[in-house]
Amino acid sequence: MSDHETPEGGLGGPADAADDPATAAVMRTIAPALRDPALWAEPPASLADSIVAAIAAERDASPPAPSDSPLAPVVPLAPAAPVDLPPAAGTDELAQARVRREERRRRPVLWAALASAAAVLAIAVGFVAMRGEDEDPAEFAMAGTDLALEASASGDINELDAGVAIKLDVEGLPPAPEGQYYAGWVRSADGQLVGIGSFHMRGGDSTVTLWSGVPLAQYPTITVTIQTEGAGEASSGQVVMRGSLED
Amino acid sequence: MRSMVFDDRELARRFPAGDETIVRAVYERYGRAVHTVAYSIVHDATTAADVVQSTFLNAWRASARFDPDRELGPWLYSIARRQAIDTLRREGRSTPAEPETLDRAESPASLEQTWEAWQVRLAVDQLADDEREVVRLSWFAGLSHPEIAEQLGVPVGTVKSRSHRAHRRLASLLAHVVANQTGDKDVQGTDSAAERARGEHL
């Protein structure tokens, strides 16, 4: 065999690939794959870190392994934070957001009095006869992750005929950079994500209304991710805020 | 930690916890093969990287329902292929199709092609670095042994011996591919496995 033989010659591969029939047969079969750029393309070196970070962010928000799963053995869900990852935002920030919300709620007693008076007046004139709004909205809080440490939100949930309106009062979340946007998600206990809308925070208004078409009792976690335009509709996994919709 | 070796069952069992060591181990074993499947379908490096990330995220989200007694690789393959095709279709809907890209957008690589690419990538990844490079230069770059020797700065005899070992190893690792093509198509079984996995995680 000549040293100048190329993959294009002979049996379709280098000379030494054909020195026994079995090897030659395999090489002939896989030759198209060996010549395909896809085989040799390398993923970005940073991709592993991105995947680890994205999974860590979602894991901290809501571990995917239900404890009663017959297929998943019981494993530690949240080991100590790896040393080369930033500390994950956790319950402390969530608790702080709740405290801030509580403080805002308690601060002016006058507010409560006025709100009560307004509610009484509204009842008196029959405004609450509007369909689907006969219950007080449920409230919840969201905390920023390590991707948006200053962010927080208080929110309320209104079950309406058209769906579930989720109103967020957002603080500390910067406007999304050009080419990016925020997306809201609710997540079931087994990890199913449902998109509830997108926003950018570039207009200065801190109020965001998202809509869910799925019952939130089955989707007890809410997250906001930063997304890249044109990168597809799936969650980027880059969670900037999260919270629990459970009481 | 990076040197720890886990078998597939152990990886599958521990993957749902999202532990960094395990996620990295799964990526180290299958990340490049997932990328090959993604790239062979979307034909774009940036999009392929996005598909890889989505594949691992979706796999992790669904991992609590994955039976660790099943093979982890074919399951990841099925998620990757589905993710790549979904991405391709979304881009096809949002971007006006140019004539030269229309065929590609309408006809993603077949199941057999992507499954073979997956297996070949896994096999190539098991070669020693210097052997893998000889195979790449030989098959992909189309270089002769003397040309490879010149490029790598090693004797031609060294190239020959590396090439010989590499091809024997590939033949050993991929003998079942030939068997599948000449006999019963095991890949069809993988198709069913892929469909099952699809139903489980999407």
DSSP per position, B122-135: HHHHTS-HHHHHHH
Q: What is the pLDDT of residue B159?
A: 95
Residue pair A222/A142 in contact (Cβ under 8 Å)? The answer is yes
Q: Across the beta sheet with A163-171, what order do the strands follow?
A: A193-199, A180-187, A221-228, A239-244, A138-144, A152-160, A163-171, A207-212
How far away is chain B from the Cα of A104, in angstroms, using its nearest Cα? 36
**Is A232 near chain B, with CB under 8 Å?**
yes
Q: What is the pLDDT of residue B66?
A: 87
What residue of B is the nearest CA neighbor of A14? B138
pLDDT tens, position by position, A31-81: 999 999 999 999 998 899 999 999 988 888 765 544 333 333 322 223 323
> Across the interface, do A14 and B19 touch by the CB < 8 Å criterion?
no
Please, what is the average pLDDT of chain A? 70
What residue of A is the nearest CA neighbor of B117? A33
Q: What is the pLDDT of residue A111?
A: 52
Q: What is the pLDDT of residue A240?
A: 86
**Is A99 near chain B, with CB under 8 Å?**
no
- Which of chain A's residues have a Cβ under 8 Å away from the Cβ of B35? 41-43
How far away is chain A from the Cα of B48, in angstroms, using its nearest Cα? 8
Instruction: Give 3-state DSSP helix, strand, coil % of chain B, rounded to 5.
Output: 80, 0, 20
What residue of B is the nearest CA neighbor of A227? B50
Q: What is the pTM of this model?
A: 0.54
Tens digit of pLDDT at every position of chain B (202 positions): 444 678 888 899 999 998 899 999 999 999 999 999 999 999 888 899 999 999 999 999 999 888 888 889 999 999 999 999 988 887 764 444 444 444 444 455 788 889 999 999 999 999 999 999 999 999 999 999 999 999 999 999 999 999 999 999 999 999 888 776 665 444 333 444 434 333 333 3
- Which of chain A's residues have a Cβ under 8 Å away from the Cβ of B65? 69, 71-72, 190
Q: ipTM, 2 decimals?
A: 0.81
Q: Which residue in B40, B49, B57 is closest to A43 by CB distance?
A: B49
Distance CA A60, CA A118 (A): 40
> Across the interface, do B52 and A43 touch by the CB < 8 Å criterion?
yes
Residue pair A65/B20 in contact (Cβ under 8 Å)? The answer is no
> What residues 115-154 of chain A have any CB closer than 8 A to a CB of chain B?
none
DSSP β-bridge partners for residue A171: A152
Q: What is the pLDDT of residue A127?
A: 41
pLDDT tens, position by position, B126-177: 999 999 999 999 999 999 999 999 999 999 999 999 999 999 999 999 988 8
Q: Which of B30, B77, B132, B139 to mutate to test the interface with A (most CBs of A within 10 A)?
A: B139
**Is A47 near chain B, with CB under 8 Å?**
yes
Q: Which residue in A6, A39, A72 is closest to B121 by CB distance?
A: A39
> HEC string of chain A?
CCCCCCCCCCCCCCHHHHCCHHHHHHHHHHHHHHCCHHHHCCCCCCHHHHHHHHHHHHHHHCCCCCCCCCCCCCCCCCCCCCCCCCCCCCHHHHHHHHHHHHHHHHCCHHHHHHHHHHHHHHHHCCHHHCCCCCCCCEEEEEEECCCCCCCEEEEEEEEECCEEEEEEEEECCCCCCCCEEEEEEEECCCCCEEEEEEECCCCCCCEEEEEECCCHHHCCEEEEEEEECCCCCCCCCCEEEEEECCC
Average pLDDT per block of 10 residues along chain A, 247 residues long: 40 56 87 93 91 88 47 29 30 46 47 52 44 61 80 88 90 87 86 87 86 89 86 79 82
Q: b/e for A103-123, b at 16 or more Cβ within 10 A?
A: eeeeeeeeeeeeeeeeeeeee
Q: Can you say whether the dihedral through the CA atoms of B71, B72, B76, B77 is positive or negative?
A: negative
How far away is chain B from the Cα of A189, in angstroms, using its nearest Cα? 10
H or E element that contains B170 = helix B156-173
**Is A3 near chain B, with CB under 8 Å?**
yes
Q: What is the pLDDT of residue B80?
A: 94
> Across the interface, do A17 and B124 touch by the CB < 8 Å criterion?
no
Residue pair A182/A222 in contact (Cβ under 8 Å)? The answer is no
